[in-house]
Amino acid sequence: MRAIVLDKPGSFRVAQVPDPVPGPGQIVVRVDACGICGTDLHIMDGEFPPTPYPITPGHEFAGTVAAVAGDVRMDLPVGARVAVDPSLYCGYCRRCRSGRDNLCENWAAIGDTVDGAFAEYVAVPAANAHRLPDGFDGQLAAMIEPLACAVHGLRRLGPIFGDSVVLTGAGTMGLLLLQLLVHAGAGPVTVVDRVDGRLAVARKLGAAQTASGLGDLDGERFEVAVDATGVPSVVDGVAALLDRGGRLLIFGVTPAEATMSLSPFRVYNDEITVTGSMAILRSFAPAVELIGSGVIDPRPLLSEPLPLEEFGEALHRVRTGQGIKWHIRP
Amino acid sequence: MRAIVLDKPGSFRVAQVPDPVPGPGQIVVRVDACGICGTDLHIMDGEFPPTPYPITPGHEFAGTVAAVAGDVRMDLPVGARVAVDPSLYCGYCRRCRSGRDNLCENWAAIGDTVDGAFAEYVAVPAANAHRLPDGFDGQLAAMIEPLACAVHGLRRLGPIFGDSVVLTGAGTMGLLLLQLLVHAGAGPVTVVDRVDGRLAVARKLGAAQTASGLGDLDGERFEVAVDATGVPSVVDGVAALLDRGGRLLIFGVTPAEATMSLSPFRVYNDEITVTGSMAILRSFAPAVELIGSGVIDPRPLLSEPLPLEEFGEALHRVRTGQGIKWHIRP
Amino acid sequence: MRAIVLDKPGSFRVAQVPDPVPGPGQIVVRVDACGICGTDLHIMDGEFPPTPYPITPGHEFAGTVAAVAGDVRMDLPVGARVAVDPSLYCGYCRRCRSGRDNLCENWAAIGDTVDGAFAEYVAVPAANAHRLPDGFDGQLAAMIEPLACAVHGLRRLGPIFGDSVVLTGAGTMGLLLLQLLVHAGAGPVTVVDRVDGRLAVARKLGAAQTASGLGDLDGERFEVAVDATGVPSVVDGVAALLDRGGRLLIFGVTPAEATMSLSPFRVYNDEITVTGSMAILRSFAPAVELIGSGVIDPRPLLSEPLPLEEFGEALHRVRTGQGIKWHIRP
Amino acid sequence: MRAIVLDKPGSFRVAQVPDPVPGPGQIVVRVDACGICGTDLHIMDGEFPPTPYPITPGHEFAGTVAAVAGDVRMDLPVGARVAVDPSLYCGYCRRCRSGRDNLCENWAAIGDTVDGAFAEYVAVPAANAHRLPDGFDGQLAAMIEPLACAVHGLRRLGPIFGDSVVLTGAGTMGLLLLQLLVHAGAGPVTVVDRVDGRLAVARKLGAAQTASGLGDLDGERFEVAVDATGVPSVVDGVAALLDRGGRLLIFGVTPAEATMSLSPFRVYNDEITVTGSMAILRSFAPAVELIGSGVIDPRPLLSEPLPLEEFGEALHRVRTGQGIKWHIRP
Ligand SMILES: NC(=O)c1ccc[n+]([C@@H]2O[C@H](COP(=O)([O-])OP(=O)(O)OC[C@H]3O[C@@H](n4cnc5c(N)ncnc54)[C@H](OP(=O)(O)O)[C@@H]3O)[C@@H](O)[C@H]2O)c1
Ligand SMILES: NC(=O)c1ccc[n+]([C@@H]2O[C@H](COP(=O)([O-])OP(=O)(O)OC[C@H]3O[C@@H](n4cnc5c(N)ncnc54)[C@H](OP(=O)(O)O)[C@@H]3O)[C@@H](O)[C@H]2O)c1
Ligand SMILES: NC(=O)c1ccc[n+]([C@@H]2O[C@H](COP(=O)([O-])OP(=O)(O)OC[C@H]3O[C@@H](n4cnc5c(N)ncnc54)[C@H](OP(=O)(O)O)[C@@H]3O)[C@@H](O)[C@H]2O)c1
Ligand SMILES: NC(=O)c1ccc[n+]([C@@H]2O[C@H](COP(=O)([O-])OP(=O)(O)OC[C@H]3O[C@@H](n4cnc5c(N)ncnc54)[C@H](OP(=O)(O)O)[C@@H]3O)[C@@H](O)[C@H]2O)c1
Ligand SMILES: [Zn+2]
Ligand SMILES: [Zn+2]
Ligand SMILES: [Zn+2]
Ligand SMILES: [Zn+2]
């Protein structure tokens, strides 16, 4: 089959490699679409430490069951459509045993530590596959993975019914979080981004107000803040806008060495809460339903998928901020 | 009656003032004991901004009902023993209406914004009085108020069953928090303080391990951290000891201008939570029970109460770190 | 002024009574609209035990500030529009002190235990008044009170994100609960009622499926069930439709002597939860926002208000199931 | 090896069977002690429907690692002491994917649906094994499984800090629940059982009050009730003792066909909650710590273990209510 192979950080090739066969408990999926996200760029650039090179990246994907190991008991016949949760965890470390699999001490993931879906076929544990109705659009299905991250983020935040919210970053994740916030009953949501086109999408998706910088919100206070930029100065800035009793969710991935400054007096006196959200935790199934039922509609975020051969061009478009979300259709 | 009066920051006098009379909905309490806490020092020093001078401070107190307004319907006969929740809130601001009275936008408190209990008598709303069994020790009863703050802190933290905890500061509040943590089912609690005598009390009250500085804990990680020093560098240091998924409660009151440094990457990647706890919120009644039943025993923290006339001496002992908790018996 | 007066159960008259004057902490509200609910029927029929006769009922109301006591510090000028939370509680009983004011041992309410709003004017504690924007429609504003009950119900239920729901009863409360469920992110909501017209409204308001009886749902299982009929056999029937891990909210008010049958084996084995919701608890302010922002739109439930003189006719229409919600405009 | 074999309901034999070998991902455990519980009696009597005969029962056990499959990566060397969580679940059904593995639609368990630990050796998935310190007492370790059920029960109940509790049934599970309730900060716990000796143990373990029947508690009301008898009339009786706002946990396993009677009016008006707890859900690791640290001490419940050959005698003692908890030491 054809697959993207990264032999080492910095370069990739479209290679001819052996077709995968299903190991015990596995299925093989014919990839229909696989999204490109920030982590893929980091893997390309050698900035995602757990990566073992050579590797085929790609973790936001959906497709069709092509082969099934003999010991799989799930109802996953060849030809069934599936979205795949890329999370792999050990099940026996202290974090796994307390139900926080996403913080597993032996963390792994399809497309990050084992071969992923920028390829015609990928072998995955059957238990990671979520069956979709026949005819489910492949590119929509590939959006389930990022939505599952956003659903977990919302759970980490806790109830937001009626709360005023400021959300920074109207990229893929920001716009998914926005839809979830609106759908979960938030009060007015203010979205901040520096790209006008993205703010226009945000207004269409339910933002009560948009701004092109935190400075434009002078004087306003919010009960909830969510960062989806990953820019440290934005995290600092939005934390400052919290009202007494306010909560900040750090969803964006900032550089590891950056720091934010927090007033411990204010944390005490105003009972401010700062918390974070990392990847997926039992949030893949709800994401399947939210996209399946049309409650969350990722279509305003999508561009026409590109073939495997244009992987380089797709990376370029992501890096230069063209469009919002790009997919490869191998 | 005799009362401490602060005419302006920096000085006080033991004055003869008119006996208070109960206004509508009020009772007058004959003060049995009133504790001295950090806020009292700040009021003395002019560093507690909401204070209106002249004022009689004192908010950690208990006593005996001496007079009751005609419209009071609670079962509070003259002679009944009571502990008094000093919290006053408006009931109609946005915070009050969302159930967070302690963050009231029109916040006030007995002993902080209206005359308190370093006096023979004090007038208080009957609804703030919690009736105690006859014969309840007055000094123990005066410990209900600080315990109520600690109970609220524990609630802010959420479930801690089986979690490993590091607690910095073994003063009054730290030692009450320690007892609560142990009683609420925490895993092993490590207590850090620089005063050896306090660490000895901590071990007696259930600490699994004690240390005289965070440096001594090199390499250990904790699922929960609680600061009860109010020292910014300690808050910073203890935050660094959190394990993945960890939670930090900022209970100590740091200087308003201090900042702590937090890695937003770590908040995201390790799903760290930082939160704070301010005063009392529906935690006075549980504190009454905890001390009444003997589950929490503040006696190892107490010194012999001093009379009103030795208020200056008592302040001196607090400032010089003698004993742990000091009370005035007016 | 003119007011409805019930001298004793079973009869009422439109009477001329003295205008109310504001007591300490009170305002007087010129009533704009007051809804009729089941409790009013019970008060009429002598079946609401706490009622002291004679009484002027009416607790779902909004209006305009007409007079303000001198000691009121809230921003409530004469002419301001307000909706009024009818809940009165003591603030010092065990339930109040644990934050469950709605279960107050000394429970009281405007229109239930003291004179209410089927009258031109009504005196109420200022703290119970929630200010509305000028020009807020009076009949819409009178819907805030029932919505506040529904918001509390949803909170009692806990998170419902993505859960399949069956809701019995598409009267006023059922249709408000439906809108809240949809707005809070429930999965598909199935509504059951025996009145076709109400089911049509339910579909318009977001029901994924409707049925005219539980029997029509043969074989389906739901993760959440909410009863808003108050009919014991319906409560029993809907409890039987819960999936493993399911939760039932009993919102409807059944006769006091009725019983439902529950299998304790199933409660254990399937971890079923049954819980209830009573009136309003810190849910009035969110209800103000939900109706003010148009997120919840009660207009499909409303009929043209009737004047005080047609109170009898209005009661008749409620009893005979005409329309959905009826208001008096005094 | 020697093992108990049930060829069909109603009879068992001590048989010589082949030693188990570890399948993929498995270890073999040399059984040190295995407790007898109610489910074992049901399996004996043919009253536990999922049982496939012939079977070797036994699910409350601990022992020593005797063999390890080549693909196991956990730190579980031969000779290590382990307690084993008997839960087996599919990981892909709707319940598993929402984090409620204990309600798995493809539920299975060691000793219930596959061969268990009334045998010299048992093969189990390595991920189910929890490593214990060397020298951990085997019979104490076999108590981790029932404690893990009790920990899950407490979590289902939610916060109980300071609440008054009534607990019915002072058998193994009741006495473990009692210790947990006390350790988690409950207010006074009243224990009801008809066996005096068990009430004496309850008092020793922290019960504030004991009674030999619910009738003896006339007039008292409780904020929390926990049933650990499994007797329907007791469940009914204890539900009646709940105060307003009260919560009932049904932990005992009643006959499948029994019903309890509940007033839906009371559930609404008093906001009563009824819920259940089934087996273990991420509560095994905390149970390891609670017994390891000595916080929970099951020793007052234990009798001297009997050898495999006296399995019949052990069953007899359980059925006739001798002692509290019996173990087989194969
Ligand atoms: N927590 C998780 O589980 C999780 C999962 C997936 C992704 N993430 C993280 O979430 C973040 C967002 O992901 P994404 O895919 O949505 O990325 P994205 O498409 O790059 O979106 C980020 C948005 O933030 C905007 N932005 C950057 N700096 C800004 C500033 N100073 N003021 C206002 N807006 C600013 C960007 O505008 P420009 O394009 O002009 O820079 C862009 O529109 C990333 O950090 C990603 O790593 C987290
Ligand atoms: N959140 C609330 O509702 C609330 C309520 C009451 C009080 N508080 C705050 O809680 C904090 C504790 O109150 P408290 O009454 O217990 O005060 P305290 O008696 O002064 O106790 C503080 C303890 O921390 C120790 N400490 C100071 N710096 C340290 C360091 N670098 N390393 C280790 N230990 C150190 C102190 O030792 P030394 O004596 O040697 O300095 C002292 O033993 C204060 O900040 C107070 O304002 C908060
Ligand atoms: N928990 C609280 O705080 C709270 C607050 C307010 C009200 N409530 C209670 O909530 C319930 C609903 O109030 P509401 O104002 O919405 O009353 P409503 O307008 O009378 O609505 C009840 C609906 O249930 C339907 N219904 C009755 N029996 C049925 C059956 N066997 N199958 C299907 N549908 C059936 C009724 O149809 P018909 O008209 O044909 O009977 C009606 O449409 C009442 O019990 C009320 O007392 C509770
Ligand atoms: N939820 C779960 O995950 C889970 C896990 C394990 C066990 N269980 C269940 O929990 C229950 C308790 O288990 P166990 O092992 O502790 O059983 P147990 O040792 O038989 O204890 C039950 C106790 O309840 C007492 N009792 C029975 N009827 C009573 C009555 N009318 N009034 C007062 N006390 C009465 C019994 O006394 P007598 O001996 O005189 O009858 C006995 O002391 C069982 O139903 C069991 O199946 C549930
Ligand atoms: Zn793990
Ligand atoms: Zn307020
Ligand atoms: Zn009350
Ligand atoms: Zn399952």
Q: What is the pLDDT of residues D83-108, one digit of tens each?
A: 999 999 999 999 999 999 999 999 99
Ligand nearest to the CA of A38: 1
Q: What is the pLDDT of residues A120-146, one digit of tens each?
A: 999 999 999 999 999 999 999 999 999
The pLDDT value given to residue D180: 97
CB atoms within 10 A of CB D221: 13
Would you say residue B9 has pLDDT above 90? yes
For C183, the closest of A159, A185, A289 (CB atoms) is A185
Confidence of residue D284 (pLDDT cuts 50, 70, 90): very high
Per-residue pLDDT reduced to its tens digit, A249-303: 999 999 999 999 999 999 999 999 999 999 999 999 999 999 999 999 999 999 9
Angle between the C196-204 and C172-183 helix axes, to the nearest 10 degrees? Answer: 20
The helix (run of H) or strand (run of E) holding residue A210 is: strand A209-211
Cβ-Cβ pairs closer than 8 A, B with C, add up to: 33
Of A118, A129, A125, residue with least CA distance to A54: A118
Nearest to C100 by CA among C324, C283, C305, C281: C281
pLDDT band for position A218 (50/70/90)? confident
**Ligand in closest contact with the CA of D278:** 4
Q: Would you call D299 exposed, middle or buried from its count of C-beta atoms within 10 A (0-12, 13-18, 19+)? A: exposed
Tell me the average pLDDT across D70-81: 97
Cis peptide before D22 (omega within 30 of 0): no
Strands A11-16 and B129-132, by their bridges, are unpaired
Contact yes or no for C92 and B284 at CB 8 A: no
Cβ-in-10-Å burial (0-12, 13-18, 19+) of D8 comes to exposed
Note whether B69 and B77 are within 8 A (CB). Answer: no
Contacts of A38 (CB under 8 A, 6+ apart): A230, A253
Question: Residue A176 above 90 pLDDT?
Answer: yes
Q: How many CB atoms lie within 10 A of CB A8?
A: 10
Q: Does A188 touch chain C (CB under 8 A)?
A: yes
DSSP conformation class of D51: P
Q: Are C127 and B92 inside 8 Å of each other by CB?
A: yes
Within chain D, all domains assigned CATH 3.90.180.10 are found at: 2-143+302-328
Residue B218 binned pLDDT confidence (cut-offs 50, 70, 90):
confident
Over residues C116-126, mean pLDDT: 98
Which residues are B29's β-sheet partners? B65, B122
Residue B230, phi-psi category: left (phi > 0), alpha (psi -120 to 50), beta (remainder): left
Chain B environment of C74 (Cβ under 8 Å): 92
Residues of chain D with CATH 3.40.50.720: 149-276
Output b/e per residue, A106-131; b: 16+ Cβ within 10 A.
ebebbbbbbbbbbbbbbbbbbbbbbb
* Residue A64 contacts residue A32 (beta carbons within 8 Å): yes
Q: Roughly what angle, to the nearest 10 degrees, separates helices B196-204 and B172-183?
A: 20
Does B286 reach chain D within 8 Å, measured CB to CB? Answer: yes
Three-class secondary structure of residue B240 per DSSP: coil
Backbone angles phi, psi at D79, to 5 degrees: 100, -15
Task: Give the per-residue pLDDT at D149.
Answer: 98
Instruction: Look at D253 and C272 and tell me if their CB atoms are within 8 Å.
Output: no
CB–CB of A81/A62 below 8 Å?
A: yes
- Which chains touch D (3+ CB pairs under 8 A)? A, B, C
Looking at every residue in chain B, the average pLDDT score rounds to 96
Cβ atoms D89, D107 nearer than 8 A: yes
Beta strands D165-168 and D222-227, pairing class:
parallel
* Token code pair at residue B84: 């008094």
Distance in angstroms between the alpha carbons of the first and the last residue of chain D: 10
Distance in Å, alpha carbon of C313 to nearest chain B alpha carbon: 37
Asked whether residue D219 carries a pLDDT value surpassing 90, the answer given is: no
- Name C217's Cβ contacts closer than 8 Å, sequence gap at least 6: C166, C190, C192, C211, C241
Among the partner residues C245, C253, C267, nearest to D250 by beta-carbon distance = C267
Residue B24, chain C, CB below 8 Å: the answer is: yes
Whole-prediction pTM: 0.97
CA–centroid distance, residue A42 to ligand 1 (Å): 14
Q: Which chains touch A (3 or more CB pairs under 8 A)?
A: B, C, D
For the CA of D149, the nearest atom of ligand 4: 3
Whether omega for the bond prior to residue B54 falls within 30 degrees of 0, making it cis, is yes
Q: Which of A161, A134, A142, A139 is nearest to A85 (CA)?
A: A142
Query: Rounded CA gap, B236 and D328, in Å?
Result: 52
Architecture (CATH level 2) of domain A149-276: 3-Layer(aba) Sandwich (3.40)
Helices (H), C208-247: 232-239
Say how far apart CA A281 and CA B51 lie, in whole Å: 48
What gap in Å lies between CA B295 and CA D179, rounded to an integer? Answer: 15
> Tokens for D267?
């559930």
Name the pLDDT band for C219 (thresholds 50, 70, 90): confident
Tell me, using a 6 A CB cutoff, whether residue C253 lines ligand 3.
yes
Distance CA A145, CA B321 (A): 56
What's the rounded Cα separation, in Å, for the pair A171 and C216? Answer: 45
Characterise B104 by phi-psi region: left (phi > 0), alpha (psi -120 to 50), beta (else). beta
pLDDT at B219 over 90: no
Tokens standing for A175? 């716009």
**DSSP letters for A71-111:** T--SS--TT-EEEE--EE--S-SHHHHTT-GGG-TT-EEBT
Provide the pLDDT confidence category of residue A199 given band limits of 50, 70 and 90.
very high
pLDDT > 90 fraction of chain C, expressed in percent and rounded = 97
Q: Which residues line ligand 4 (CB under 6 A)?
A: C 268; D 37-38, 149, 153, 168-174, 192-195, 198, 228-231, 234, 251-253, 277-279, 321
Torsion of CA D311, D317, D319, D320, to 10 degrees: 160
Q: Which CATH number fits domain D2-143+302-328: 3.40.50.2300, 3.40.1160.10, 3.90.180.10, 3.30.200.20?
A: 3.90.180.10
CA distance D121 to D144: 19
Is the pLDDT reported for residue C41 higher than 90? yes
D-chain residues near B162 (CB < 8 A):
285-286, 289-290
d(CA A155, CA A286): 12
Residue A195 CB burial class (10 angstroms; 0-12, 13-18, ≥19): middle
Which residues does residue A84 pair with via DSSP β-bridges, in sequence order? A129
User: Quick one: pLDDT at residue C313?
Assistant: 97
My answer on whether omega of the bond before D54 falls inside 30° of 0, hence cis, is yes
D187 touches chain C (CB under 8 A): no
Peptide bond just before D146 cis, omega within 30 deg: no
Compute CA distances A222 → A190, A241, A266, D258, whole Å. Answer: 9, 6, 15, 52
pLDDT at D236 > cutoff 90: yes
* Gap between the Cα atoms of D193 and D214, Å rounded: 9
What pLDDT was estimated at residue C218? 81
Distances (CA, A) of B143 to B38, B153, B298: 14, 16, 7
A149's CB contacts (< 8 A; 6+ apart) are A173, A277, A279, A280, A283
CB-ligand 2 contact for B170 (6 Å cutoff): yes
D279 pLDDT tier (thresholds 50, 70, 90): very high
> With DSSP H G I counted as helix, E B as strand and the rest as coil, what are the percentages for chain C, rounded to 5?
30, 30, 40
pLDDT (0 to 100) of residue B318:
97
- Centroid of ligand 4 to alpha carbon of D228 (angstroms): 5
The closest residue, in CA terms, to atom 13 on ligand 1 is A173
**The two structure tokens encoding residue B134:** 């006859």
Smallest CA-to-CA distance from C267 within C242, C294, C295, C293 is with C242
Q: Is the pLDDT of residue B51 over 90?
A: yes
Please check whether residue A292 touches C, CB under 8 A.
no
The pLDDT assigned to B64 comes to 98
The two tokens of residue A301 are: 């975020």
Q: Which residues contact B157 (CB under 8 A, 6 or more apart)?
A: B224, B226, B247, B249, B275, B277
How many angstroms separate the CA atoms of C41 and C38, rounded?
Answer: 5
d(CA B192, CA B215): 10
Give dist(CA C165, CA C228) in Å, integer: 13
Cα-Cα-Cα-Cα torsion D75, D78, D82, D87, nearest 10 degrees, comes to 80
Helices B284-292, B144-157: inter-axial angle, 10-degree rounding: 120
Q: Please identify which residue in the block is written with the tokens 């921003």.
A: C75
d(CA A200, CA A178): 13
| Closest listed residue to residue C29, CA positions, set C4, C81, C66 | C66
Residue B156: pLDDT over 90: yes
Across residues B271-298, what is the average pLDDT? 95
Tell me the per-residue pLDDT of B170-190, one tens digit each, with 9 for 90 and over.
999 999 999 999 999 999 999
Could you give the ipTM of this predicted complex? 0.96
3-state secondary structure of A152: helix
